């Protein structure tokens, strides 16, 4: 038989979703698992979203909508952008897609072609490099470290730019580090973007999980960048609606027209009932519960950094901790070598039932990702078991940052 698509075969499965499936298998087998991998809030979706969905079903809302989304949903997103982000756009600049992941894919599909390069700072969300590859472009991974707050600097961006560079990906607040760019840092990056005629794919899905004053800064704050930026967002995180799959892009009229065209030939519109649910949820965002995540972060971070051998900056956003565990690697646990973060996580799960995501999935060996967006009691017990596990490691060598 003839070979299958090289674009498809080059894509690796999502390691976070694969790991979560493994943990769920253990749960179904009757094991007690403390899942600190999950990337979704533990509170219920807003009642306004649930009510709107039920009302839509009762009214027989079961037909196609505009490819770009319900006019009333796009109008509500317009208002949200104006009120929360200080961004004024027309309805033709908004396209509602089947989740922020779909919105990102649309953005890469429209911006990139064979031979293009897209700069992706590491640590990165696992999907960015794979989607870039899926559209035939090349992800250029630029490592960042704790000394810069796991953020891309203007100097490092400029070093990575070549004649083939088309775009740069920014995720702030970020997954997996929780790092958030300041307005000054974004201004410095914006100058490089403009100088080299680049696009920005800006993922703001965690914007409401921001623990400093005000709102999380965005590239769209700079008028010169608005034509160059594809803003990606959705209701999955802030409204705890991960299963409803409603995201959106905000871009220039020219880019948005192509996003609509691509979507018209792929998924068409997002499920009508899901759009109505999102519309209701945007009027009922659970701000009080979102604010409670700051306290969760503080408690989890204090417990984590009390463990000898673990270093972790205090994240300013999202709902993850991303500690470096290099000092715990190179030894063994119960005779099992712990050479990598993958070994560490496998052994931790096997002996304690605690599930963490190894940093290799995010382009950051020697790290692990821990979520605090789950039952605080589960987080507390999981970190207690992690500490006991760390104390049992026989350190035959001292790890170094990689």
Q: Are residues 28 and 91 in the same domain?
A: no
In-domain check, residue 52: yes
Q: Are 174 and 206 in contact (CB under 8 A)?
A: yes
> To which H or E segment does residue 190 belong?
helix 183-195
Q: Are residues 231 and 318 in the same domain?
A: no
How high is the pLDDT of residue 351?
Answer: 95
How high is the pLDDT of residue 401?
Answer: 36
In-domain check, residue 401: no
Three-state DSSP at 329 gives coil
Q: Are residues 155 and 61 in the same domain?
A: yes
Last residue of a domain, one of 227, 262, 283: 283
Q: pLDDT over 70 for what percent of the chain?
A: 98
Q: Are residues 135 and 36 in the same domain?
A: no
Q: Are residues 98 and 155 in the same domain?
A: yes
Taking the C-alpha atoms of residue 77 and residue 70, their distance in angstroms, rounded to an integer, is 11
Q: Is the pLDDT reported for residue 402 higher than 60?
A: no
pLDDT confidence bin for 211, thresholds 50/70/90 = very high
Q: What digits encode the pLDDT tens for the residues 98-124?
A: 999 999 999 999 999 999 999 999 999
Q: Is the pLDDT reported for residue 32 higher than 60?
A: yes
How high is the pLDDT of residue 396?
Answer: 59
In-domain check, residue 1: no
How many Cα atoms are found within 13 Å in the side-chain-facing hemisphere of 200? 30
Q: Are residues 71 and 201 in the same domain?
A: yes
How high is the pLDDT of residue 136?
Answer: 93
Last residue of a domain, one of 220, 251, 283: 283
Q: Are residues 76 and 93 in the same domain?
A: yes
Taking the C-alpha atoms of residue 209 and residue 287, their distance in angstroms, rounded to an integer, is 10
In-domain check, residue 244: yes
Q: What digits encode the pLDDT tens for the residues 38-95?
A: 889 999 999 999 999 999 999 999 999 999 999 999 999 999 999 999 999 999 999 9
In-domain check, residue 400: no
Q: What digits encode the pLDDT tens for the residues 218-254?
A: 999 999 999 999 999 999 999 999 999 999 999 999 9
Q: Using alpha carbons, select from 101, 362, 330 the residue that is nearest to residue 234.
A: 101
How high is the pLDDT of residue 140?
Answer: 99
CATH for 342: 3.90.1150.10
Phi and psi at 318, nearest 5°, equal 60, -155
Predicted model pTM: 0.94
pLDDT confidence bin for 19, thresholds 50/70/90 = confident
Last residue of a domain, one of 261, 283, 305: 283
In-domain check, residue 189: yes
How high is the pLDDT of residue 189?
Answer: 99
Q: Are residues 62 and 167 in the same domain?
A: yes
Q: Are residues 250 and 381 in the same domain?
A: no
Q: What is the mean pLDDT of the chain?
A: 94
Q: Are residues 102 and 205 in the same domain?
A: yes
Q: Are residues 207 and 332 in the same domain?
A: no
How high is the pLDDT of residue 285?
Answer: 86
User: What residue numbers bound the domain in which 220 lies?
Assistant: 47-283
CATH for 111: 3.40.640.10
Q: Is the pLDDT reported for residue 139 higher than 50?
A: yes
Q: What digits encode the pLDDT tens for the residues 318-338?
A: 999 999 999 999 999 999 999
In-domain check, residue 397: no
Q: How many domains does the chain have?
A: 2
Q: Are residues 96 and 219 in the same domain?
A: yes
């Amino acid at each position: 038989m003839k070979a299958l698509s090289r674009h498809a075969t080059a894509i690796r499965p999502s390691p976070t979703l694969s790991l979560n499936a493994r943990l769920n298998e253990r749960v179904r087998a009757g094991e007690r698992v403390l899942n600190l991998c999950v990337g979704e809030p533990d509170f219920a979706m807003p009642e306004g979203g649930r009510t709107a969905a039920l009302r839509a079903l009762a009214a027989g809302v079961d037909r196609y909508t505009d490819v770009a989304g319900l006019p009333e949903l796009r109008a509500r997103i317009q208002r949200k952008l104006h009120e929360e982000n200080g961004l004024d756009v027309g309805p033709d600049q908004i396209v509602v897609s089947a989740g922020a992941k779909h919105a990102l894919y649309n953005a890469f599909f429209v911006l990139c072609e064979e031979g293009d390069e897209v700069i992706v700072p590491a640590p990165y969300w696992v999907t960015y490099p794979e989607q870039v590859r899926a559209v035939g472009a090349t992800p250029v991974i630029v490592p960042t470290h704790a000394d810069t707050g796991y953020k891309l600097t203007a100097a490092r961006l400029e070093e990575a730019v070549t004649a083939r560079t088309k775009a740069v990906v920014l995720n702030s607040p970020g997954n997996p580090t929780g790092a958030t760019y300041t307005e000054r840092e974004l201004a410095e990056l914006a100058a490089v973007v403009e100088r080299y005629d680049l696009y920005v794919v800006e993922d703001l899905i965690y914007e409401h999980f921001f623990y400093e004053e005000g709102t999380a800064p965005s590239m769209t704050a700079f008028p010169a960048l608005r034509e160059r930026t594809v803003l990606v967002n959705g209701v999955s995180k802030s409204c705890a609606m991960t299963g409803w799959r409603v995201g959106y892009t905000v871009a220039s009229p020219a880019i948005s027209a192509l996003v609509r065209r691509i979507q018209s030939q792929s998924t068409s519109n997002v499920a009508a009932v899901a759009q109505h649910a999102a519309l209701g949820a945007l009027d009922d965002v659970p701000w009080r519960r979102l604010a409670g995540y700051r306290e969760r972060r503080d408690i989890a971070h204090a417990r984590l950094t009390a463990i000898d051998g673990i270093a972790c900056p205090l994240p300013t956003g999202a709902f993850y901790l991303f500690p470096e565990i290099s000092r715990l690697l190179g030894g063994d646990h119960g005779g099992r070598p712990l050479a990598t973060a993958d070994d560490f996580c496998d052994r931790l799960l096997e002996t304690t039932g605690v599930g963490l995501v190894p940093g290799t999935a995010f382009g950051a060996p020697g790290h692990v990702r821990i979520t605090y967006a789950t039952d605080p009691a589960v987080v507390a017990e999981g970190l207690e078991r992690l500490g006991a596990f760390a104390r049992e490691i026989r350190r035959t060598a001292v790890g170094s940052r990689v």
